[in-house]
Chains A and B, each alone.
Chain A
Amino acid sequence: MHRPLVRLENVAKTFPDGLEALAGIDMEVGRGDFVSLLGPSGCGKSTLLRLIAGLAQPSGGQVLWPDGPPAPGRIGYVFQDPTLMPWGDVFDNVYLPLRIAGQGRGAARPAVEAALELVGLADFAHAPPHALSGGMRMRVSLARALVTRPMLLLLDEPFGALDEITRFRLNDDLLRLWGEGGWTVVFVTHSVFEAVFLSQRVLIMGPRPGRIHAAMEIELPKPRPPELRMGADYQRICAAVSASLAQAMGSC
């Protein structure tokens, strides 16, 4: 493997109240990778993502960026909730990262419209968030993360609260966007099926304090059509990942 985009060396995170969330995390994310962090709730997956984003500082070890730390806007983040500003419409919300970067509304318009186009919300630029469905709000959140053309996209269980139909569709969309855009993605989930379907590599984490129990390369073709979910290969890999996850859960 050549030079990674980001490398974590022996990273640990203990919160001020003594809660040990992560211990001894070593991992690398290469350019163009799609890596999933898979593990039970409360195993520190989200904390790990926050450490990579620089929203929290590790209490041990380090997060290294071989090509220098990313400038603001080079990382896109999608939270578990859509996290939209209720006082702005869809356009305002997607425009926000560019606005913070000092771009004028007019200058930012093409980028915002392109991002909305990507997630299929071009016709909803002036809708208020409260008028949208849960899936659409998540798409807005995704468009906002994409609008700065980030090199790294961090997704924290973005589809966890959605129904399965919407979730499958957004998974397909995400995979398509990843195929077209060539970003690097780190995706947090507790769904084996989602992790396998989306990722090139799945890192399986055990319960608290979170450690990386196993790393599995997902040998599935690229691009991955929705029918893949019915195939025997997919099922077999899911079973293997599930087994590894069960092992990780039992290892504590």
Chain B
Amino acid sequence: MLTRTAWLGRLAPALLGLLVVAGWEALVRFNDIPSYVLPGPLAVAETLWREGPGLLAALLVTLRVTLAALLVAALTGVLLAALMAQSAWIERSLMPYAVFLQVTPIVAIAPLIIIYVEQPFLALLACAWIVAFFPLVANTAAGLRSADRGLQDLFRLYGAGRLQRLRLLLWPSALPHFLAGLRISGGLALIGAVVAEFVAGTGGSETGIAFRILEAGYRLQVPKMFAGLVLLAITGIGIYGALAWFSRLLLRRWHESALPPRS
């Protein structure tokens, strides 16, 4: 049973949202702002309904790039972090390049990637991967290093091999860090995919949501731009929510972050 303040706590954000949307609609109506300058929320909703199927199909294209990039980033990130965990020398040699990839703005790299990678899907995937990759490597590497000293001693005492140590000790210790990285990278992969689409332009027969927004912009279909934006925002929240749920699912039995509070 929720208390009154708890209810208010839940309702407050929704109420604020509703107020803003209503204010926005009122602003547009009273000032007779044309929809190619600023469409009201109702116009956006109407466009969303009308253009829904087309936009959703485009969203699916973007989503495919995003999820594929996230998957590849997770695999390569874990692999590289595991490699770094083997020796300080490997870590010291690799880390600067991982940082290099991270700090160079994707908008600046994307045009090059699009030139060199001919297959559009792969080009977009590469861009999104570059953005999503770093938090996964950095977090997983930190996690692999954070294994309890006492447990490390224990594994040595019992003569555990390298792989046993990695599988039974380092990986479970790194899991919460990896999952935190995954939650960050989920959002970044979407950003990477969108940026890449903006840069790539028409990339093939199938076009993603970002390109649709760009295209609508050229045609001054501002309500459609907003509709695409709404879909992207919902997708971003959805990805974050799904990853947070996945993280809780894996950690709920033991990690402090997912345990219920002590009563």
Chain A contacts for B160, CB-based, 8 A = 100
Q: Which of B157, B172, B175 contacts A77 (CB 8 A)?
A: B157
**Residue B30 at the chain A interface, CB threshold 8 Å:** no
Are A97 and B254 touching (Cβ within 8 A)? no
Decide if A81 is an interface residue (CB 8 Å cutoff). yes
Contact of B153 with A by CB under 8 A: yes
- Do B157 and A53 touch across chains, with their CB atoms under 8 A apart? yes
Chain A proximity of B148: nearest CB distance (Å): 7
Interface assignment of A73: CB less than 8 Å from any CB of chain B: yes
Query: A100 near B254 (CB under 8 angstroms)?
Result: no
B89 interfacial contact with A, CB 8 Å: no
Contact among B150, B158, B254 for A86, CB-based, below 8 A:
B254
Contact of B150 among A73, A83, A87, A148 (CB under 8 A): A83
Q: Which residues of B contact A99 (CB under 8 A)?
A: 168
* Contact partners of B172 in chain A: CB under 8 A: 85, 87
Q: Which residues of A contact B169 (CB under 8 A)?
A: 85
B144 smallest CB distance to A (angstroms): 15
Name which residue of chain A comes closest to B171, CB basis: A87
Within 8 A of A (CB), among B148-197: 148, 150-151, 153-160, 164, 168-169, 172, 175
Contact A75 B157 (CB under 8 A): yes
Cβ-neighbour of B253 out of A50, A75, A77, A128 (below 8 A): A128
Residues of A within 8 A of B151 (CB): 83, 85
A130 within 8 A of B: yes
Question: Which residues of B are interface residues toward A (Cβ below 8 A)?
Answer: 148, 150-151, 153-160, 164, 168-169, 172, 175, 253-255, 259
Could you write out 5 A-B pairs with CB less than 8 Å apart?
A: A75-B157, A77-B154, A83-B148, A96-B154, A130-B254
5 other A-B residue contacts (CB within 8 Å) besides A53-B157, A85-B169: A50-B153, A79-B154, A85-B172, A96-B154, A100-B158
For the complex of A and B, the 6 pairs showing the least CB-CB separation, nearest first, are A72-B159, A83-B150, A100-B158, A87-B172, A86-B254, A100-B160
